[in-house]
Chains A and B, each alone.
Chain A
Amino acid sequence: MIVYQSMTLVYLCGIAAIILGGVLAVFVPDTAKAKVVALFTGIGSMLAVYPCIRVLAGAKPFFFILCASRTFGDVPLVIDRLSAFFVIVISTVSFLGTLYAVGYIRPYCNQNKDLASHFLFLSLLIASMLLTVTFHHALAFLTAWEIMSLSSFFLLTFEHEKSEVYDAGLNYLVSMHVGVVFLIIGFILLSQSSGSFDFSSFKAALNKGQLSVFTVFVIFFIGFGMKAGFVPLHTWLPRAHPAAPSHISGIMSGIMIKTGIYGIFRVITFIDSPLPEIGYFVLIISLVSGLLGVAYAIAQHNLKKLLAYHSVENIGIIGIGAGLLGLSYHNTPMALLGFSGAILHVLNHAVFKSLLFYAAGIVYHQTHTVDIERLGGLGKHIPFAAAAFLTGAVAISGLPPLNGFISEFFIYMGMFKGLQSGMFLSVSLSLTISGLAFIGAMAMLCFTKAFGVVFLGSPRSHYPNTVFNAGISIKAAMTIQCLMIVGIGLFPAQVFSVIVRIASQFVEIGNYSLGPTLQMLGNLSKGFFIFLTITALLWMLRVFMLRKAGVYAEDNLCKLSFLKKLSLSKYRYKTWDCGYQAGNVRMQYTASSYAAPFIGIIKPVLDYKEQIVYPSASAYRETPKKAGTCLFPVSGSFESRTQDRIETCIIAPVISLIIRFLNLFSWIQSGNIQQYILYGLIFLTAVTLWIMGV
């Protein structure tokens, strides 16, 4: 028996269309596969988004209940406001991701790659993410969650012939399954207590007092945090993202890890009034994630690894914002602004992080490397990617007037609103405010490094002459994302009035008036427009002055190609090198030297190793150590390596302990088939006896 509303059918049709696209892609030639998937994902996304917009516009939650069987109970699929928001984010970013894939995958066509399964799994991933955020039933949720983890594993190992990709994939698979174990434990605890798998029964079960709310929350937090990438559960992220192709990195980092955030949000709705210790727990973990994520990112010289660590940072910012403390201290403005900031940051991060990954993908296709130290001056080769990366970089550093600032502004204001309610709270909030400021400043350092070294200056190595033609699909996808970034940035008040409806699912707004907040945001965008106006006026003034001075390069303005060698002045000369006349490209500052002073400061949390190797030292009969100090210089090479100290000091020892424990049982695995059949028999007999009640 099925009970449903017609709106949910539209939603389910959308999901069916997405899967259908993946299936159809199997039967068409390689070059058309991506287009078919993008088309069907586009249609499916539109269908899926429509009911969600209705929900956000004020309609009652839509539901679809499948009365499956006695053991499962009713399986509800509900689109409430929280689910609706996540559905919108997932379908928008996935559609743009598949659109980007059309251009990105082209070099792989006719290379004997298994594109058919790749696109099938891509559709499955998108569909399973949509189902994950709408199922309100523990078993169905876990099934969708598992499909999501498995399909993303296959997407991740696209270039599985490379050993590092394979390792990264296995690492990801194991991490996800450790996470799932915690989720299963959490759901068992709740459904044992409530007698049902339905999410709506969990709230009563959790607040009956039999279960410790804090323990249950921590179990769920570990399970979901593994997917989201909170420190110290983040170790799969920096491996997985460099291994995956860029459209997959974009989708995974942009939205898949957000399903972990969705899970945490969903668990919060189970809790009646969160205890302060839950709030402080989330706050501390998030702050540490934010600080360490960005600090590790600065030390990375692989562009995609750097972006992966930034996901850890942004997950931390979202966690800081999830204003649980506001809920437990019954401070409505603080909770409301905090949750709005967190929710908006989910959207913002999805948009700018995937944009940055897409730009990195263009860099990879152009140069066949993402090693920052080998890049440079790419702004002139691929101006479009440079402009997109710059937009994303300014946004992710949380700088006005783009969207990253808006969500951080909400989070800051939430904390400032809570400063006057209690000593312990105000001290921890002051420290968090200062930590968040430090995160923002470090993000700026990191992205000036990434953008400056990769796209500006002169090339640090020789690139292939062929220019990667981005094509209309890549440009369209990335332009839409840039517009979203700017749009959310410039019109925060309008965005807030939508976001606050989602936040009100957590926070009782009551008679709290939103007027002052909206006014504040209106003033904010007034400030932005003043800033932009001043910029435009000054630019015109500068053009006017150059024209008056008679040095204005008229001919250059005709080919107004953005970020190219466009110059206002007709005088060009080489870079001032302080009188030294033989400067060359090798003397440019590198990413390592740019980050070196900072790495010196954060050494306690980072494993940083430098090594100078003298291959020719033996020829001089010198010990390698002495070679550096000998009279005549010998040729040598320098390498530095940074490692995550969280991983080497916390994760690795734990894993080796577990392995030692599991080795105790290795005698069970004899490799003898007869013996395994015996195990099966013993198990079946035992189960039969147990059921028969002996």
Chain B
Amino acid sequence: MYLKEINMIMLLILPFLFIGIINRTKSFWGGRKGPPLLQSLFDVIKLFQKGEVISHTASFVFQISPVISFASVICAGLFVPMVHQKSVLSFEGDFLLFSYILATGKFFSIISAMDTGSSFEDMGASREALFSSLVEPAFFMMLGTLGIIAGGLSFSDMISFSRQLGQYALLISMLCVIIMFVMLLTEGCRVPVDDPNTHLELTMIHEVMVLDNSGPGFALIQYGAAMKMLIISSVIINLMLPAAVTGPLAFIAMMAVTALIIGTIESLTARVRMTHIPKFILFMSSVSFILLSITVVLVYGRIR
């Protein structure tokens, strides 16, 4: 069936809904009515019709970076398993391209922040570079662990490992979900790592990096950030309930639930102090180490 086309359309449209649900959840907990569900879509359309103001200090890098970052997110989205655990493009080793192409986008968004010569934006860039470098090892250790169990070496094959593991699959997938969830909060810049709504530049990470962007460039950045959250949560959904993701509607429903959870966490917890964020992210490494140990015991220890 038109699975690839459906996935492609979902990849392009669902990010707005995802952000909308998060914002509505936050409004609910805050006792407000909240913006329309597709407000972020309207924002992007509005931004696209505007002009751009560019800093005197900024060079060509600043202008090409939003484009490269967004292209990297779309491209990474092509390799992520969505409905029916199928991705638009799938081949052996695609998860490496997934991770590294996101890193390319991040590289450019970091140097674009440094291009403005503002101390605030550099501060954000420094933090973004540090925190994302702490995420990588845990994510790759998880991939390595899945490689021990899985039958194939593409993203879709690795995530659908449950067939190989039987009754212990739930344990493994829960640990993976924890890892991916911390990654989602870090990469998506949500509470408790970063607060998209904060108004104090000194404590922001992602939002402070884009202070100078405007117009179409800023639209691409906003859209890209939402899409990145969508693709990571798509991995989570596929890990958590592989059997449930049988159709587009089920997928959208699961996505809505994830967004609800994120919104609830955002409303009910405070963000971590800046100096404690590395510890919060390194928690992910500990979990992935536990995951590795358990998997090795399960696979080689004849517990199965």
A contact residues around B225 at 8 Å (CB): none
Q: Is the CB–CB distance between B217 and A575 below 8 Å?
A: no
Q: CB of B97 within 8 A of chain A? A: yes
User: For chain B residues 52-91, which have a beta carbon within 8 Å of chain A?
Assistant: 52-61, 63-64, 66-68, 70-72, 74-75, 78-79, 89, 91
Please report the C-alpha to C-alpha distance between residue A439 and residue B299 in the assembled complex, in whole angstroms: 28
What 1/0 mask marks residues of chain B from 28 to 68 whose CB sits below 8 Å from any chain A CB? 00000000000000000000111111111111110110111
Q: CB of B189 within 8 A of chain A? A: no
Q: CB of A574 within 8 A of chain B? A: yes
Q: Is the CB–CB distance between B296 and A441 below 8 Å?
A: no
Please report the C-alpha to C-alpha distance between residue A617 and residue B62 in the assembled complex, in whole angstroms: 44
A contact residues around B148 at 8 Å (CB): 419-420, 426, 430
A contact residues around B55 at 8 Å (CB): 572-576
User: For chain A residues 400-451, which have a beta carbon within 8 Å of chain B?
Assistant: 400-401, 405, 408-409, 412-413, 415-417, 419-420, 423, 426-427, 429-431, 433-438, 440-442, 444-445, 447-449, 451
Please report the C-alpha to C-alpha distance between residue A597 and residue B107 in the assembled complex, in whole angstroms: 18
What 1/0 mask marks residues of chain A from 249 to 271 whose CB sits below 8 Å from any chain B CB? 00000000000000000000000
B contact residues around A394 at 8 Å (CB): 104, 107
Q: Is the CB–CB distance between B89 and A576 below 8 Å?
A: no
Q: CB of A453 within 8 A of chain B? A: yes
Q: A531-B72, A569-B52, A589-B119 are in contact. Are A563 and B93 (CB under 8 A)?
A: no
- Give the nearest-CB partner of A379 in chain B: B59
Number of A-B contacts (CB under 8 A): 282
Q: CB of A673 within 8 A of chain B? A: no
What 1/0 mask marks residues of chain A from 526 to 537 whose CB sits below 8 Å from any chain B CB? 110011001100
Q: Is the CB–CB distance between B119 and A588 below 8 Å?
A: yes
Q: Is the CB–CB distance between A412 and B93 below 8 Å?
A: yes
Q: Is the CB–CB distance between A563 and B59 below 8 Å?
A: yes
The smallest C-beta distance from B87 to any residue of chain A, in angstroms, reads 12
User: For chain B residues 204-257, which have a beta carbon within 8 Å of chain A?
Assistant: 211-212, 215-217, 220
What 1/0 mask marks residues of chain B from 113 to 154 whose CB sits below 8 Å from any chain A CB? 011111111110111011011111111110111011000010
Please report the C-alpha to C-alpha distance between residue A551 and residue B114 in the assembled complex, in whole angstroms: 24
User: For chain A residues 556-595, which have a beta carbon within 8 Å of chain B?
Assistant: 562-569, 571-578, 583, 585, 587-589, 593-595
Q: A434-B144, A437-B137, A444-B133 are in contact. Are A413 and B96 (CB under 8 A)?
A: yes
Q: A452-B115, A551-B52 are in contact. Are A546 and B215 (CB under 8 A)?
A: yes
The smallest C-beta distance from A539 to any residue of chain B, in angstroms, reads 5
A contact residues around B78 at 8 Å (CB): 527, 530
Q: A524-B97, A538-B220, A549-B49 are in contact. Are A448 and B144 (CB under 8 A)?
A: no
Q: A549-B49, A597-B126 are in contact. Are A434 and B137 (CB under 8 A)?
A: yes
Q: CB of B165 within 8 A of chain A? A: no
B contact residues around A276 at 8 Å (CB): none
Interface of B is mostly: helix
Q: CB of A456 within 8 A of chain B? A: yes
Q: Is the CB–CB distance between B130 and A433 below 8 Å?
A: no
Q: Is the CB–CB distance between B111 and A451 below 8 Å?
A: yes
Q: Is the CB–CB distance between A575 and B216 below 8 Å?
A: no
Q: Is the CB–CB distance between B216 and A545 below 8 Å?
A: yes
The smallest C-beta distance from A325 to any residue of chain B, in angstroms, reads 14
Q: CB of A185 within 8 A of chain B? A: no
Q: Is the CB–CB distance between A571 and B97 below 8 Å?
A: no
Q: Is the CB–CB distance between B54 and A569 below 8 Å?
A: yes
Q: CB of A550 within 8 A of chain B? A: yes
Q: Is the CB–CB distance between B107 and A397 below 8 Å?
A: yes
Q: CB of A542 within 8 A of chain B? A: yes
Q: Is the CB–CB distance between B68 and A535 below 8 Å?
A: yes
A contact residues around B133 at 8 Å (CB): 438, 441-442, 444-445, 598
- Count of interface residues, chain B, beta-carbon cutoff 8 Å: 86
Given A377, A562, A569, A576, which contacts B60 in the complex, CB threshold below 8 Å?
A562
Q: CB of A458 within 8 A of chain B? A: yes
Q: CB of A519 within 8 A of chain B? A: yes
The smallest C-beta distance from A290 to any residue of chain B, in angstroms, reads 12
Q: Is the CB–CB distance between B54 and A572 below 8 Å?
A: yes
A contact residues around B120 at 8 Å (CB): 577-578
- Give the nearest-CB partner of A423 in chain B: B300
Q: Is the CB–CB distance between B114 and A520 below 8 Å?
A: no
What 1/0 mask marks residues of chain B from 155 to 182 whose CB sits below 8 Å from any chain A CB? 0000000000000000000000000000
Question: Which B positions have Cβ atoms within 8 angstroms of A?
Answer: 48-61, 63-64, 66-68, 70-72, 74-75, 78-79, 89, 91-94, 96-97, 99-101, 103-104, 106-107, 110-111, 114-123, 125-127, 129-130, 132-141, 143-145, 147-148, 153, 201, 211-212, 215-217, 220, 278, 288, 292, 296, 299-300
Starting from the known contacts A390-B111, A420-B147, A434-B137, 15 additional A-B residue pairs (CB-CB under 8 Å) come to: A377-B117, A413-B96, A430-B148, A434-B141, A441-B134, A456-B111, A527-B94, A538-B67, A549-B215, A550-B51, A551-B51, A573-B54, A575-B56, A575-B121, A593-B122
A sample of 8 cross-chain residue pairs with beta-carbon separation below 8 angstroms, ordered by A number, consists of: A413-B92, A415-B144, A420-B147, A427-B292, A442-B133, A448-B111, A566-B63, A568-B54
